[in-house]
Structures are given as structure tokens and as C-alpha cells.
């Protein structure tokens, strides 16, 4: 393979990003990899601001192979990415969100790793940055890049279980893929929050090898403005997101059954995805009716029952003890009413001595946090019995 002649397609969906699109496209123009070997595919997802005009003005600078496509109706981030896949001509695919940007050597370094390792997927580092100068914790996937010396490392499929930190890499953005991976109708779901998770974890579970590249970064923007909404932000305001999330984690469980050696990673991703909807279900305010709540509860129990939920705490800092607690609360409780009583009692007691003591105990039991949850639920069940009487 000649690194200089390989065509890389970079798919950039955009929707109401007039404040960020120029920075994103400038980062592509500045790539040290030849722009004539980059096919930029810009997909307009029916935004209402000046993003389309900005994209049009950049077309003369993005190389002769680049394309600008406009949807007739909004399809969400996943649908826009699918349009880019179908329109792409490159041997390799990358996904770049229009409010983020790339380091100038990104494509060159990724292609160098592909040239050396011939892996199916290359994962590179990701760093969050803030518009309001807030400090964000280091992405847990950064731990992956501390396991080797030099700038890159190849990991064969049989080695994946040794690196549970791969669970943190379910984003489509900080990767380059062989396009052939997306054959056989592998596509993103349309209009869905966490549109990356199921597809990317399917790809990682089936791929023969991956490579890691350390010294370049995908620059991920944290958008803090109240009125500044991205493609996926609006989806989370609707009741549909509850069952969209369930469908994703049910799909992840099917992959875990097919590839049991990937269970630990797939379970972590499932917990990461389900934290917010489960908290909403347990609280008094959510958009589900009683029948929908009961269906959601039963499906959650079926997904997580008899799985080592608490043990995932050791994988990364983004799964808090309370996310794990809430999921165990649903999966271990006898019924939804019991789970809600437990949750309400825990919320009321959040600052009292009992909860503080449990949290201290949990910190001491990180190697076996299941003990913490069993103890907590046992004591809370005693309270429920007193309440019922």
C-alpha cells in the first residue's frame, strides 16, 4: 500500500453549526496529508442557519474530490453519516463532527499506522475542550495510550479482553476504518441518541485487529450554551429516547452472547448509555405513562439480571457508583414500586450519616463493590417492609 495514494473519505454532517463549521473545515484544509487524497463529504441535515452557505464557500479549498450533499428532510447525525458512507469513494473512512476539529497531522499519522499494521481500525486519542474554559476530566480511553511505548501499537483480536479500556472507544469520531467494514449494510441508526454505540461495538467485536495512535488528538467540543443545540440534543427531550436506549443495550447484549469474551466491555457501554434514562425512570418526573414504565422496567431487568454489573466500576471513572447502584436497584428489586421507594429513600438520605458511611465503605471495596450494593439493598429492604407495614 502506498500511503501517498490512498484516498481517505472524511464524512462531516452539519446542522446549525455556523459558529463552528469554519474551524472544523480549516482543520481539514491544514492536514499534512495531501488534500487531493482526501475526499471531504459534507452533509447538510436541513439546518436553519448559515451553515450551508459557509460549507459552500469552502468547497474550492477542500480538494477536487469533495462533495456537498443536502438532505431533503432531517435524518439526524446517524442518517447524515449514512449518506456520507454511501457517497464515499475512499478506501478508508473517517467521521468528523462539525463542531469539532482535527490536529494537522491526524490523517497522515493514521495512514502511517495503517501502512505499518494493516489493521481494520485505528483508534486515536481524544481531548475535550470547553467554550467557557471549564475543566473536563481526561477521557478514560486515554488509559489505552499508556500501555505502550512509541506512537502506535497493534492489538490482535484475541488480545482485546486484556484491554477493557476499549469499552471507552464507542465513538465513531476518533477512528479511521477500512471502508469494506461498512459493507453488508452496516449503518448508523437514524435520529437516535448514542447512534455510535451499537454499530461501533459491533465492528470492534468482529474486527481482526486494531491499532492505537498516541500523539494526535480528536478535539471534542463541549457545547455548554443553553440555546446551542446539536443534532442529538433535541432527541433527548422526547419520551422516545427511553426505548431507543433499551434497543441499543439489548443489541449490545446479543453481541455479548455471540462474543462472550467481550462481555465486560459491552456491559460497561450498556451502563454508560442507561445511566440517565434509568435515573429518570426512578425519579418522579419522566415522560412515560404507567404501562410504558412497567415495560421499560421489565426490559431493564432482563438486560442486566445475573450480569456482573458492579464489577464494571473498575473499568473507568465515567461510571459512578450511583449509576451502578440505580441499575442494580432495578435489576435486583422485586418490582418497580419497590425500586422507586428505595431510590426515593436514598435521595432523601443522600447527605445523612448512613449514606456517607456507605460511600466511604464503597470506596474501600472497589475491588468487590457488589458487597456494598448487597448490604445497601438488604438494609433498604428492611426499611421498605417497615414502610409497608
Q: Fill in the DSSP letter of residue 105.
A: T
Residues 383, 12: Cα–Cα separation, whole Å: 53
Q: ∠326-274-262 over CA atoms, to 5°? A: 105
Q: Residue 297 has which C-alpha cell?
A: 422496567
* CA–centroid distance for 17 within its chain: 21
First to last CA, the chain: 74
* DSSP state string for 183-205: TTT--PPSS-TTTTHHHHHHHHH
Give me the pLDDT at residue 40, please.
98
Comparing C-alpha atoms, which of 135, 148, 139, 146 is closest to residue 174?
Answer: 139
Neighbours of 324 (CB within 10 A): 22
| Residue length of the chain | 389
Give me the pLDDT at residue 225, please.
58
Output the tens digit of pLDDT for each of the chain's 389 residues: 556 679 999 999 999 999 999 999 999 999 999 999 999 999 999 999 999 999 999 999 999 999 999 999 999 999 999 999 999 999 999 999 999 999 999 999 999 999 999 999 999 988 888 777 666 556 656 677 877 888 889 999 999 888 877 887 889 999 999 999 998 789 998 877 777 899 999 999 999 999 999 888 899 988 765 455 544 444 434 678 788 899 999 999 999 999 999 998 899 889 888 888 888 898 877 888 899 999 999 999 999 988 888 777 666 555 667 788 788 888 878 889 888 887 887 666 655 545 555 455 555 444 555 555 566 556 655 554 554 44
What contacts 205, CB < 8 A, 6 or more positions away? 255, 258, 259, 262, 266
Q: ∠153-155-157 over CA atoms, to 5°? A: 170
- With 0-12 CB in 10 A as exposed, 13-18 as middle and 19+ as buried, what is 198? buried
Q: Residue 246 forms beta bridges with which residues?
A: none
Give me the pLDDT at residue 211, please.
95
CB 326 within 8 A of CB 279: yes
Comparing C-alpha atoms, which of 204, 116, 113 is closest to residue 160?
Answer: 204
Residues 298, 331: Cα–Cα separation, whole Å: 9
Sign of CA dihedral 234, 239, 240, 245: positive
Q: What is the CATH number of domain 8-229?
A: 3.90.550.10
Q: Fill in the DSSP letter of residue 138.
A: P
Neighbours of 18 (CB within 10 A): 17
Give me the pLDDT at residue 230, please.
47
Amino acid at each position: 500500500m502506498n500511503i501517498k495514494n490512498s484516498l481517505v473519505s472524511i464524512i462531516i454532517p452539519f446542522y446549525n453549526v455556523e459558529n463552528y463549521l469554519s474551524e472544523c473545515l480549516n482543520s481539514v484544509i491544514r492536514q499534512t496529508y495531501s488534500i487531493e487524497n482526501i475526499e471531504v463529504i459534507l452533509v447538510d441535515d436541513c439546518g436553519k442557519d448559515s451553515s450551508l452557505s459557509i460549507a459552500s464557500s469552502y468547497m474550492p479549498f477542500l480538494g477536487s474530490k469533495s462533495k456537498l450533499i443536502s438532505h431533503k428532510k432531517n435524518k439526524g447525525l446517524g442518517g447524515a453519516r449514512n449518506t456520507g458512507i454511501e457517497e464515499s469513494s475512499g478506501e478508508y473512512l473517517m467521521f468528523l463532527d462539525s463542531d469539532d476539529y482535527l490536529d494537522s497531522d491526524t490523517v497522515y499519522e493514521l495512514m502511517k499506522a495503517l501502512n505499518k499494521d494493516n489493521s481494520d481500525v485505528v483508534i486515536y486519542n481524544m481531548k475535550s475542550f470547553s467554550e467557557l474554559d471549564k475543566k473536563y476530566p481526561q477521557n478514560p480511553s486515554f488509559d489505552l495510550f499508556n500501555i505502550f511505548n512509541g506512537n502506535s501499537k497493534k492489538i490482535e483480536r484475541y488480545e482485546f479482553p486484556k484491554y477493557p479500556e476499549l469499552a471507552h472507544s464507542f465513538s465513531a469520531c476518533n477512528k479511521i476504518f477500512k471502508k469494506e467494514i461498512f459493507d453488508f449494510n452496516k449503518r448508523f441508526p437514524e435520529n437516535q441518541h448514542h447512534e455510535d454505540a451499537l454499530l461501533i461495538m459491533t465492528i470492534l467485536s468482529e474486527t481482526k485487529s486494531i491499532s492505537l495512535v498516541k500523539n494526535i488528538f480528536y478535539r471534542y467540543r463541549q457545547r455548554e450554551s443553553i440555546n446551542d443545540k446539536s443534532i442529538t440534543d433535541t432527541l433527548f427531550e422526547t419520551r422516545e429516547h427511553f426505548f431507543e436506549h433499551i434497543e441499543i443495550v439489548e443489541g449490545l447484549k446479543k453481541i455479548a452472547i455471540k462474543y462472550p469474551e467481550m462481555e465486560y466491555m459491552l456491559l460497561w457501554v450498556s451502563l454508560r448509555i442507561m445511566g440517565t434514562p434509568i435515573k429518570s425512570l426512578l425519579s418522579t418526573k419522566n415522560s412515560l405513562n404507567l404501562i410504558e414504565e412497567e415495560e421499560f422496567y421489565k426490559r431493564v431487568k432482563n438486560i442486566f439480571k445475573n450480569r456482573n454489573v458492579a464489577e464494571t466500576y473498575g473499568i473507568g471513572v465515567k461510571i459512578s457508583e450511583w449509576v451502578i447502584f440505580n441499575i442494580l436497584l432495578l435489576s435486583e428489586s422485586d418490582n418497580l414500586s419497590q425500586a422507586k421507594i428505595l431510590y426515593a429513600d436514598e435521595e432523601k438520605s443522600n447527605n445523612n450519616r448512613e449514606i456517607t458511611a456507605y460511600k466511604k465503605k464503597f470506596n474501600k471495596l472497589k475491588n468487590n463493590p457488589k458487597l456494598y450494593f448487597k448490604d445497601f439493598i438488604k438494609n433498604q429492604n428492611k426499611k421498605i417492609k417497615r414502610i409497608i407495614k
